[in-house]
Structure 1
Amino acid sequence: MRIALGAFGLQDDLNSKFFIKKVLEGGVENPKSLANRLADKRYFEMASAFGFGGTGAAAVTENGFADKIIGLYQSRSFEVAVGESDENLRLALGLRRDLAALARKDASEDTKWFTIMGAAPLRKVFEVAFSLPKSFGTIDIDKQLETLKQKSRQAFGDASVSQFADPERIEALTRRFLLRADLAAVSQQFSGGSIALQLLQSARFQR
């Protein structure tokens, strides 16, 4: 269970066995299933990968299933280790996997954007990359969709999520995110109060 949950970044749910069982049992084919109703789409990805609750055989019976889950777990574990020293780098690593997979899905562009809004790591990357305020998540959901499309068109000349099936577009987004994250950190470090404190400390040292 630790490996299965860790493969989808859900290691904090290790003690929520009943909840995880319900997510898996419901599968994703039924629009009313728990995995489809949860805002955090990591549960959907897990339920989809295991394939329970559908009309056909579960994915766990397929050759290579265990290797796939182990590979995901190892990748996520590496990201967690990186995140212990730099959370932004962890988000950047996950972006290459999660956004590319989403971009290639057979779904409408609005559905893909809503998926991004429901996935905390992806949402944070786009909010930082597009310099959106912390209050952005509190506005009307349709307005959020409109804003993300507008910002994407301004930054990349394309309002679609499908554009990120191109590795070069993901790389451009990654650079934009890391640059703005660094600028925000520097700005916070040298805010008015911080500068005043440094000046006072410097004056005290000189005396």
Structure 2
Amino acid sequence: MINTYTSYQLITRDMERSIDRVETQPMVSRETAYYRENIGNVKSIEDFVSDERLFRYAMKAHGLEDMAYAKAFMVKALEGGIDAEDSFVNTLTDKRYRDFVDIFNFARYGEQTTSFHSSTTGTVEKYMRQTLEEDAGNQNEGVRLALYFQRKAGSLKSYYEILADPALAQVVRTALGFPEALAQADIDKQVNMIKERLDLEDLKDPETLEEFLKRFTTLWEIDNPSYTPQSSIAALFSQPAEFGISTDILLTIAQMRR
């Protein structure tokens, strides 16, 4: 089995071709055709969530597939929109929900919501990238983390944003040689330690970002060798917490059901 950095390079060297390979997968092709054909017919939040196939596609595209079952939660988020500072979705720490509501902003645009590029072609593009990352993770979780970080790096505005996302935080801790135990330290202390070693502006430079991810994948490989039988078996039975549902979201759902 090839190592983490080489696997990452093989995908990113020609990203367009890598995405094309994903797009030709039979299931991806079928679900994408259905989404393209039907998203324009959605005129309300009720239309959106009642079409299980369509809604699940959109949720996966935005990294929220694990939450597709929680329709009452998502309806509440969509109904509140993002314009009011105290809207439901703006109180959540996980930015993925706000980003989703921003794209499918029925509260602001009503029936026009599904006519915009972001909710049509833009969501299809996100679905392809999400599927690419998931496929990579099935082979090597380090590659998935690297691809995810590459996608998010250019939009990072604060160190707290990194720490709020376990996947981003894991990449940074690994690349900077920090122990996993650092995640339990005071958040301001973590920010100061990262700030001393990493300038967020540098991540906007493609070459600097590439060097950073080369360091991450190299160090990841040391701790998680691609070629050991044990690592292959573990990958089959483990579900990384970095890409699941956060504890605060699960608590909110539980409270809604009371």
- The answer to whether the superposition gives a TM-score over 0.5 is yes
- Contact in 1 for aligned 2:103/2:118 (Cα 8 Å): no
Which of 173, 176, 179 is the equivalent residue of 1:127? 173
- What is the number of residues matched between the two proteins? 171
Would you say 1:136 and 2:192 are equivalent positions? no
Q: Which residue of 1 aligns with 2:64?
A: 10
Paired AA for residue 175 in structure 1: K
Residue in structure 2 matching 1:176, options 187, 212, 215 = 215
Larger mean CA deviation between 87-96 and 41-50 belongs to: 41-50
User: Corresponding residue for 1:67?
Assistant: 121
- Give a deviation string over 1:20-53, Cα, whole Å, max 9, x none: 1222223333332333322222222212222344
Determine the structure 1 residue equivalent to 2:143.
89
Offset of residue 7 of structure 1: 1.0
Whole-Å separation in 1 of the counterparts to 2:147 and 2:208: 14
How much is the aligned-residue C-alpha RMSD, in angstroms?
A: 2.1
Q: Cα 1:32–1:169, aligned 2, differ >3 Å: closer, same or farther?
A: farther
Structure number with higher relative contact order (C-alpha < 8 Å, ≥ 6 residues apart):
2
Partner of 2:161: 115
Distance 2:106 2:191 in 1: 31
Is the counterpart of residue 39 in structure 1 residue 78 in structure 2? no
* Structure 2 segments unaligned to the other structure (5+ residues): 1-54, 229-258
Q: Is the Cα contact below 8 Å between 2:149 and 2:168 reproduced in 1?
A: yes
Percent of aligned pairs with the same amino acid: 28
TM-score norm. by structure 1 comes to 0.74
Which 4+ runs in 1 deviate beyond 4 A?
56-59
Q: Decide which structure has the larger Cα Rg and report it.
A: 1
Q: CA deviation at 1:2?
A: 1.1
Q: Which secondary structure state, in structure 1, belongs to the residue aligned with residue 131 of structure 2? A: helix
The amino acid across from 2:114 in the alignment is V
Where does structure 1 lack aligned partners over 5 or more consecutive residues? Answer: 104-108, 153-158, 190-207
